[in-house]
Amino acid sequence: MKFVLVSGGVVSGVGKGIIASSCGLLLKTLGLKVTAIKIDPYINVDAGTMNPKEHGECFVLHDGGETDLDLGNYERYLGVDLARDNNITTGKVYQQVIENERKGKYLGRTVQVVPHVIDAIIDTINRVSKVPVDKSGEEPDVCIIELGGTVGDIESMPFVEALTQLRHRAGKNNFINIHVSYVPVVNGEQKTKPTQHAVKSVRSAGLIPDLIACRCEKPLEQGTINKVASSCQVEVNQVLAVRDMPTIYQVPLLLEEQGLLRELKETLKLDDVTLSPTRVTQGQEVWAKWQKIVPLGYAETVDIVLVGKYIELHDAYLSVIKALEHSAMRCGRKLNLIWVDSEHLEEKTQKEDPTKYHKAWHDVCVAKGILVPGGFGHRGTEGMVRAAQWAREQKTPFLGVCLGMQVAVIEAARNLCELKDATSEEFDANAEHRVIIFMPEGSKEKLGGTMRLGTRTTHFQPGSEFSKLRALYGEATTIEERHRHRYEVNPDYIEKLEQSGLIFIGKDDTGERMEVVEIKDHPYYVGVQYHPEYTSRVLDPSRPFLGFVAAAIGCLDQITNEILKDAGVVNGSTHF
């Protein structure tokens, strides 16, 4: 096993995740099997209970693991399916060590950070790095490890020590450390002192940077590169100038241009790894597709409005943004995402701040498509209901995800079924018409890990042959998508809702839990209980998002026909 560690200094949030993902992609283009691990030094066991406005999106993996959003980047770039163990946190490590102590596995010894916590970290990395993550079912060749935060933080010290020991145990030519730093510009001058101090700090902690990736807004001057190299004891070719790019999907192209792949091959002796001709060909095809689909600059845009409740931090909807970008690229357009706070669409805002109210409604009215994503709690949901009503009545393409599907059901119940007080049990537990209810197997006392999580099967129902979404799935009868929710559509109202025109075309294995809703006589009005954004890939956009964006552009029929052709479906029949 070969390891690529991506660490950071100076400040956090400078793009370690994108650099780690890009590095993995470049390795995959050689035909190597690549996996990834994210280390988060916080004490939380996972990201499931974190506020999205503080931490960003909680990304859900196929096994139901609630993890850091960077694992979403790994999956999108590498085309792999990771598991909950690919996200290591301080909470998980100490939970494991304490459980072992309680079971007497340390044979009465004093349990300490060194060696017990350190060994637990190393053992986890070694175990997880060998787990197959792609369709080959084979052990990966390379493991990308991203150390969250910045080296020097007190909370990350045990992980730094563990990674230092891991490098020694892995042996020569099996470990490389890419250290990401930031080069600020002060009064027009590129300053290297922060990077110098960061590298000095990381060396004193035990890690040895082999490559230094300098993040910067504009290309680094040659003099700056030379100064970083001489001050940080590396060669000039070991300094990567990672400037801001028009899109993050161009970062792999930039790093390849900077010579990253050459350095990785030389340091890790990748030419000595035995690869089958099939793997090499697959790697070359991935790189060719990436270079083809990554936008070099689309002239035309598509205006999509996102009506959400956490819009102060865009990372709260990171996978949604990426799914929209993937879909826009597939349709040959540039995404113009317009952010609307759902509370600004409500009557109280009209009274308190008419300017915000009218601005929000203007954005909704002129958009080519309206998206209502997931969320929790009552705040802002009345604005979402009103946005769903506008999309339905004005024939504007609409996609509701999780909570977005639920508000579409509430809107239909109120305005089509004339159940004026229809709502969700989450918003009003005593309401007469609770068209959305709490799932019986859930827990209202324990929040962490108690939702309906992970990959579940959805069955398209008889009579759903009209469905635009089903066609986008290649006329499949069943699909598998990832879930994260506590509430569901109340089965008692299904018949009445369907009589009003809201058709539940997809259900779970039991046939009692609603998964997909669609309106037949509408350009595109779809709600899904699952989160399709989690499985969207750069080279393979999520089907609900692709259909939504295509409908907003006006090319849904074209995209659908291309998908059906690729699936071997002609006029509803599959040809083998």
Q: Are 129 and 37 in contact (CB under 8 A)?
A: yes
Condensed to tens digits (0 to 9), the pLDDT of residues 196-231 reads 998 998 898 889 999 999 999 989 999 999 999 999
Phi and psi, residue 276, nearest 5°? -75, 150
- Residues constituting the chain: 576
pLDDT at 570 over 60: no
| Catalytic choice (146, 382, 411, 533) | 533
Condensed to tens digits (0 to 9), the pLDDT of residues 517-548 reads 999 999 999 999 999 999 999 889 999 999 99
Condensed to tens digits (0 to 9), the pLDDT of residues 35-60 reads 999 999 999 988 888 877 777 888 99
Condensed to tens digits (0 to 9), the pLDDT of residues 351-379 reads 999 999 999 999 999 999 999 999 989 99
DSSP one-letter code for 217: S
449/91 Cα distance (integer angstroms): 14
Q: Are 146 and 4 in contact (CB under 8 A)?
A: no
Query: Does the active-site annotation cover 344?
Result: no
4: helix, strand or coil: strand
DSSP sequence for 318-360:
HHHHHHHHHHHHHTT-EEEEEEEEGGGGSHHHHHH-HHHHHHH
- For residue 444, the model assigns a pLDDT of 58
573: helix, strand or coil: strand
Give Cα separations from 399 to 15, 192, 204, 226, 383 (angstroms): 30, 47, 51, 51, 15
pTM of the predicted model as reported, rounded to 2 decimal places: 0.89
Report the relative pairing of strands 301-308 and 239-243 from DSSP bridges.
unpaired
Mean pLDDT of the chain: 92
| Catalytic choice (214, 216, 402, 417) | 402
416/216 Cα distance (integer angstroms): 54
- For residue 513, the model assigns a pLDDT of 92
The gap from C-alpha 535 to its chain's centroid, in whole angstroms, comes to 8
Condensed to tens digits (0 to 9), the pLDDT of residues 227-255 reads 999 999 899 999 999 999 988 999 999 99
Condensed to tens digits (0 to 9), the pLDDT of residues 138-175 reads 999 999 999 988 887 888 899 999 999 999 999 999 99
Most confident range (mean pLDDT) of 270-274, 544-548, 571-575 is 544-548
479/543 Cα distance (integer angstroms): 11
76/447 Cα distance (integer angstroms): 28
pLDDT at 4 over 50: yes
Condensed to tens digits (0 to 9), the pLDDT of residues 93-146 reads 999 999 999 999 998 899 999 999 999 999 999 999 999 999 889 999 999 999
Query: Does the active-site annotation cover 365?
Result: no
Sole residue written with tokens 């060696």: 115
Nearest alpha-carbon partner for 451 in 462, 438, 463: 438
151/160 Cα distance (integer angstroms): 7
Query: Does the active-site annotation cover 531?
Result: yes
Residue 504 is encoded by which pair of tokens?
């539940």
Phi and psi, residue 87, nearest 5°? -115, 110
Condensed to tens digits (0 to 9), the pLDDT of residues 165-175 reads 999 999 999 99
Q: Are 489 and 516 in contact (CB under 8 A)?
A: no
| Catalytic choice (55, 179, 485, 531) | 531
Average pLDDT over residues 336-354: 96
166: helix, strand or coil: helix
Strand partners, 211: 178
